[in-house]
A and B are shown apart, each in its own frame.
Chain A
Amino acid sequence: AQSVTQLDSHVSVSEGTPVLLRCNYSSSYSPSLFWYVQHPNKGLQLLLKYTSAATLVKGINGFEAEFKKSETSFHLTKPSAHMSDAAEYFCVVTLYSSASKIIFGSGTRLSIRP
């Protein structure tokens, strides 16, 4: 069965420092993986997705993620945090079926210190 685990419920970094949000998945096949961001009282915005092409995926707003099959990980990174990056981040994996349901991680709240 597929599952996704976000290892940190809250991450706090200083503005201008690197961001690392961790995500591990469990899947019996090669999954499609996504990162979404949600600002307060807003819907979810797609940051990036991995679908078995290049293992290093570049997304919007300077974010990128690397798919590591050996580690079953899909961590999200950004070299330099900006105050506007403060939000909730969700790692998502797609179920292998025609219904294409997706499984959400529990979310990581990113705080940025001035």
Chain B
Amino acid sequence: GAVVSQHPSWVICKSGTSVKIECRSLDFQATTMFWYRQFPKQSLMLMATSNEGSKATYEQGVEKDKFLINHASLTLSTLTVTSAHPEDSSFYICSARSGGGSDTDTQYFGPGTRLTVL
């Protein structure tokens, strides 16, 4: 099946620093990737849709200057949390869509990245 990886799996950083998270589709090309945030014991919240070669589309309430997304190739999207603060601590999950862009496509999820900001 389709495999999506994320790196790092966990990161601890000081307040005010920036953290980059990578999301890769290992065995398929993904024109669209998605970034989610998950709070403890809650469902996933879509942050943004990442399109290869164009600007990301952010959901309402998500600061695009704080969460920078770059989709440089068909297999790699990155999320950079800039000037991280403790309230940014969370579990970040990416997904990559496999398919031609129809509503029957399947999203395959990465294993997630646990970010802790001290």
Contacts and interface: CB of A to CB of B under 8 A. Distances in A.
A46 B105 CA distance: 12
B1 interface: yes
Interface string A37-59: 00001111110010110000000
Contact of B46 (A32, A43, A97, A101): A101
Tell me if B's interface is mostly helix, strand, loop or mixed.
strand
A95 B103 contact: yes
Nearest to A9: B41
Interface stretch (B61-69, B77-85, B107-115): B107-115
Contacts of B44: 44, 90, 104
Given A43-B111, A100-B103, A107-B43, 17 more contacts: A41-B112, A41-B114, A43-B6, A44-B44, A44-B109, A46-B1, A52-B104, A90-B43, A90-B44, A95-B103, A96-B103, A97-B103, A99-B32, A99-B49, A101-B34, A101-B49, A107-B42
Interface of A: 31-32, 34, 36, 41-46, 49, 51-52, 90, 94-102, 104-107
